[in-house]
Structure 1
Amino acid sequence: MAGDVRLEPVDERNLEPLLSVAAAEAEPGDVMPPVEAPAGWSLARRDAFREFHRAHFGGFDGDTGTVMYAILLGGEVVGMIRMARRPEPGTVETGMWLGLSARGQGVGAAALRELLNAAAAHGMHTVVAETTADNTGALSVLTRCGAKLRTDGDQVHAEISLDSPALPR
């Protein structure tokens, strides 16, 4: 199933399908920064989701220095993965979320591998991620994709060297 995974830059064409997956299969706090809005997927929170993603349409050359990709499985949007420039040369930070129905099928690892290829194509050498020790799904995906993990209390810092010959593809 994970072999059908591809990434597509988030734009107006796939923003509504992305929002639909988020609203149906994820909690707002798992897919966007906190906002002042009624609980759940209220109209205000949906509008904030759209605004948040539109702010990143400029990609690496935009104000945020972030490229967001819709994760597609068999042509259907199932989540989002991003890479954002870091101050360290050749380094980007990544983060992702998947709708509940796409979890546990290898989609996360396939999406991260696609992102690693995109980062290398942009001349990056290192991809980092931050998560928590209880996020077993993220830790599994990161480890499967060659990340070195460093734990500090409940926080986990992951680093993937794109220059490593052992990088899983």
Structure 2
Amino acid sequence: MAERAPTVRLRPVDDAVLAEMVRAALGDAAPDEVTPMLTPGNTWTPERVEWLTRFHADRRAGLDGPAGEATWAVEVDGDVAGAVRLKRTAEPGVLETGIWLARGVRGRGAGRRAIAAVLAQAAVLGGREVRVETGRGNQGALAILRGLGFECSDAGGDRVAARRAVPGTTRAPGR
């Protein structure tokens, strides 16, 4: 019998949700998957925890706030298990996304559902195209992106760039 697909929803990040997100990251994700490399080694340090907390708190104002970026917690079967974001780019209507998920929810369809949900958010927010960049070796992410209709191309080095028109738009900008 096939495993049941998880229920995934995006939740606004208030103080309680942010605390759950930080717990999920500390308990089941590598720091390099969640934060920039702020300190040597792939270990959770006070600097990384502070960055993670501040990053999401600073984005509560959404795309129209000072950061030009919005984040949501990814809830999987009722538990916060990651985060997803949308960020304005210099091109009107083009948004960048990124995601991290706790290890325990990977490989069950949660990432696909979270990216589909952020595409729906992009449509609500007036986006026309969503872009993402990931490592060439991140086969799970690349399968999700291709499965959701993203066009993938070489971004140089070990990076892959992916782009997709937002559902409900007729074409991506510049195309």
Q: TM-score, structure 2 length as denominator?
A: 0.87
Contact 1:37/1:44 (8 A) holds in 2:
no
Which one of 33, 47, 50 corresponds to residue 50 of structure 2? 47
Aligned to 1:16: 19
5+ long unaligned stretches in structure 1: none
- Distance apart, 1:3 and its partner CA: 4.9
In structure 1, distance between residues paired with 2:136 and 2:41: 29
Is residue 103 of structure 2 the alignment partner of residue 100 of structure 1? yes
Indicate the structure with greater helix content: 1
Using the aligned pairs only, state the percent identity.
Answer: 35
Comparing 5-14 with 91-100, which one deviates more in the overlay?
Answer: 5-14
Tell me the alpha carbon deviations over residues 69-113 of structure 1, each in whole angstroms, 9 at most, x when there is no partner: 100012110111101011111110001011000000000000111
Contact 2:33/2:100 (8 A) holds in 1:
yes
Secondary structure at the aligned position of 1:17 is classed as helix
Aligned to 2:164: 160
Secondary structure at the aligned position of 1:59 is classed as coil
In structure 2, distance between residues paired with 1:140 and 1:38: 28
Aligned to 1:73: 76
- Distance apart, 1:36 and its partner CA: 4.1
Aligned to 2:152: 149
Contact 2:30/2:42 (8 A) holds in 1:
no
Secondary structure at the aligned position of 1:60 is classed as coil
In structure 2, distance between residues paired with 1:19 and 1:154: 29
Amino acid at match of 1:5: V
Secondary structure at the aligned position of 2:131 is classed as strand
